[in-house]
Structure 1
Amino acid sequence: MLLKLIILLLIQNQVQAGKVPSSSSEEDGSSEHDDEEHDRSSSHEHHWGYHDQEAWMSSFQDCSGKSQSPIDIETSKAIYDPNLNLIELEGYDLTGGPHLTLLNNGHTLLLALPNTMRIVRGFDEVYLAAQLHFHWGTIEVPGSEHTIDKVHFPAEIHMVHYNSKYANMSEAANKPDGLAVLGGFIGIGLHENENYEKILSALTDVSIEESNTQIPSFNVRHLLPNNLERFYRYNGSLTTPPCFQTVNWTMFNDTITVSRKQLAALENTLKAGQNQHLSKNFRAPQLLHGRRVLSSFSSSPSVDNRNVDVPLETEPFKRSGALGELSRGDILAIAFGVLFAVTLLVFSMYAYQQRKKHSKLKKDSRQNVIYKPGTKEEV
């Protein structure tokens, strides 16, 4: 199998289209066996889809667990933890390296990554990259999996890594410390995102389910937000069957933006099943069941500007902080603005009183003049 050969060359396991092995899934990025082996595998292997998410729980035991993902991140309840180590990446710049494999597996658009890409700081262990993939909706229905204060973004990117203490993704997938996923919210901006175009420009080559193509390598770091210092952290699961509860999630606060045209290409190009559009491939938010959501920063972000249709002026778009984060310059500007407004109000009131007083004096002076018609003699 061509895909299997590519995976062996990349020294990692990837997802086989439309099949869910007992130890992995589309989310964790591991690949298992051909059709014959699939038929002989465990009863945990089932076809699944996003239209029947309730059925996942009956077919995959972990999908009914109490540490499931995605979740809604309530910013007011996120706990600031100053001890969270910042994320440090190594080997993400693949420019000039071997071509990368892009795959439509019927569930998502997936890019296989070499395990030379690593998270070297931020966790107790070093985590090696396996793959990245996307979740999206339609022009009417934003398709991020995680939400912020119940607000969905147009799309979401997941970069999947496995603990370097394990031999590969398959071995790590069901271990408590096995996986670490870096997630980013994708919004809509005014301009085309050149970094995302390196992937999206090849969509027509993988429009059919189970198709794959090769794309030139590039700096994968540019797919993530510029600022990696502000993020949320919680323990969760794969967001697809078999829903193993083994993922240490990092969701970055700042948003990546693509153009409306680029997002539309992702929403409308890929096919799954019987020539159906591959869209709305996101799982509904799951209950926290008492889990804590930590944050690397002390204040909650604002969601006022999270538009799904209105272009944003900056790229990538950085969501504004709370009022508590105003700089000294902002505070001075507000103070001068208020002072100017008060001064203008006092001046207006003074001018009104003077005008009223002048009008009254003029009226009184007119009342003191006695009109006396002229006589002929006087004329």
Structure 2
Amino acid sequence: MLRNAFLTALFIHGLVVNAASSSSSSEEDDGSSEHENEEHKKAHSHHWGYTDQLSWGSVFNDCNGQSQSPIDINTNTAIYDAQLPSIKLAGYDLTDNTALTLLNNGHTLQLSLPGSMRVVSGFDRIYHAAQLHFHWGSVEEPGSEHTIDNVHFPAEIHVVHYNSKYANLSEAATKEDGLAVLGAFIGIGLHENENYEKILSALTDVSLEETKTEIPGFNVRHLLPNSLERFYRYTGSLTTPPCFQTVNWTMFNDTITVSRKQLAALEDTLKMEQNQLLSKNFRAPQLLHGRRVVSSFSASPEPQGPKIIPLTEAGPGTRVRASTGAGLAGLSRGDILAIAFGALFAVTLLAFSTYAYQQRKKYSKFKKDSRQNVIYKPATKEEA
């Protein structure tokens, strides 16, 4: 009888322990979810800025992680992966009946996008578009977030998508496979970009922080490079707080160009808190910490290395690897001018040297002839 009572007590104790354990586990799960929500709330309520990037980690723990973005893309160490599937988009050609919300959120210029826009190839699952935004600098300081071989471009566009297995962007942002961002570098060209003008023409309507307006839909595909075949891929994070490390990054090799006037409008129009100019909204490149950067193309056929994009095409100091071409086509305008002036100087120097040599030879002959015509006469006493 005592034995039965002991076994009963042991059984009841086990039930109590299991219940307590289950309750504790449930509390931990709730706590994790609550933590994620808190991070989102902090990102919206905390007045972080780009001038205090080093302090982001003290408020947002993920900003201290080892899979942070942006990064510098080293073209010499990027690994060619022939198995990378090509990027294919669907639903990007929006009609002008679609209203898109343009917002100045105090950190960037953001355009809302409908979920009907999708990346249908390039990843394991379909990803729905949520929004796109920009990062830029100033006339003195180019403002792309990612760099190529430590070179910044004038600006950068990010098109943010979320995994179709999740309900929305907020849920996906906290998941390891939640986000896919298509990024492209923006350079300076000779002509105005009509597609970008569809957005930039409305800048004055959203000049103040937290103001928004609506613009008609258009073909968003035209905001990206003509070719989507050549790109770099790596795993990283949001480039703004809360810095969740949940982004599969695709950075296209080819650039888009806008006019200097259009870029100036982006640099000089928007304001943030206390009516300050919204400018230089780019995060500094982060350490790789052993992450791999892969590319969809091989650079091996180009033994002469990267091509310098002419200043009129991509802005001062920008550089990407060329798909084809060599010789003068691969030189910047400054390089071509330097070669031309150098050649002109060399020709001028050669002509001057030839002229000087001829004059010296002529003078020497004249002097010799003059000496031969002089008759030597000894001095007389009167002359002495």
Q: Which amino acid aligns with 1:75?
A: T
- Paired position in structure 2 for 1:305: 309
- Paired position in structure 1 for 2:161: 161
Alignment partners' CA distance in 1, 2:98 and 2:325:
46
Q: Output one character per residue of 1:183-218: Cα deviation in whole Å (capped at 9) or x when no partner.
A: 000000000000000000000000000000010110
- Paired position in structure 2 for 1:189: 189
Alignment partners' CA distance in 2, 1:318 and 1:254:
10
Give 1:23 shift: 4.6
- Paired position in structure 2 for 1:366: none
- Aligned ranges 1:86-105 → 2 under 5 Å: 86-105=86-105
Give 1:245 shift: 0.3
* TM-score normalised per structure 1: 0.72
2:191–2:258 CA contact under 8 A, matched in 1: yes
Whichever structure has more helix as a proportion of its residues is 2
1:255–1:318 CA contact under 8 A, matched in 2: no
Give 1:321 shift: 1.9
Q: Which amino acid aligns with 1:259?
A: S
Q: Output one character per residue of 1:50-87: Cα deviation in whole Å (capped at 9) or x when no partner.
A: 01001101100000000000000000000000000000
1:298–1:162 Cα change, 3 Å: same
1:44–1:59 CA contact under 8 A, matched in 2: no
1:263–1:44 Cα change, 3 Å: closer
1:186–1:256 CA contact under 8 A, matched in 2: yes
- Aligned ranges 1:217-296 → 2 under 5 Å: 217-296=217-296
Give the percent of matched residue pairs that are identical in Structure 1 and Structure 2: 71
Runs of 5+ unmatched residues, structure 2: 1-34, 330-384
Alignment partners' CA distance in 2, 1:101 and 1:90:
20
Alignment partners' CA distance in 1, 2:239 and 2:43:
20
1:199–1:233 Cα change, 3 Å: same
Give 1:99 shift: 1.2
Q: Output one character per residue of 1:251-284: Cα deviation in whole Å (capped at 9) or x when no partner.
A: 0000000000000000000000111000000000
Alignment partners' CA distance in 1, 2:294 and 2:239:
19
Q: Which amino acid aligns with 1:312?
A: E
Find out whether 1:209 has 2:209 as its counterpart: yes
Alignment partners' CA distance in 1, 2:177 and 2:237:
11
Give 1:97 shift: 3.1
Give 1:312 shift: 2.4
Give 1:98 shift: 1.7
1:44–1:208 Cα change, 3 Å: closer
Alignment partners' CA distance in 2, 1:130 and 1:111:
9
Give 1:242 shift: 0.4
2:188–2:314 CA contact under 8 A, matched in 1: no
1:24–1:242 CA contact under 8 A, matched in 2: no
Q: Output one character per residue of 1:202-252: Cα deviation in whole Å (capped at 9) or x when no partner.
A: 000000000000101100000000000000000000000000000000000
Alignment partners' CA distance in 2, 1:226 and 1:142:
23
Give 1:320 shift: 5.3
Classify the secondary structure of the residue corresponding to 1:150: coil
Q: Output one character per residue of 1:147-189: Cα deviation in whole Å (capped at 9) or x when no partner.
A: 0000000000000000000011111001000000000000000
Alignment partners' CA distance in 2, 1:24 and 1:81:
38
Higher-Rg structure is: 2
Classify the secondary structure of the residue corresponding to 1:221: helix
Q: Which amino acid aligns with 1:321?
A: A
Alignment partners' CA distance in 2, 1:312 and 1:241:
33
Give 1:131 shift: 0.0
- Paired position in structure 2 for 1:58: 58
Alignment partners' CA distance in 2, 1:81 and 1:312:
29
Runs of 5+ unmatched residues, structure 1: 1-20, 26-31, 33-37, 331-379
- Paired position in structure 2 for 1:340: none
CA RMSD in angstroms comes to 3.5
Q: Which amino acid aligns with 2:86?
A: L
Alignment partners' CA distance in 1, 2:88 and 2:197:
25
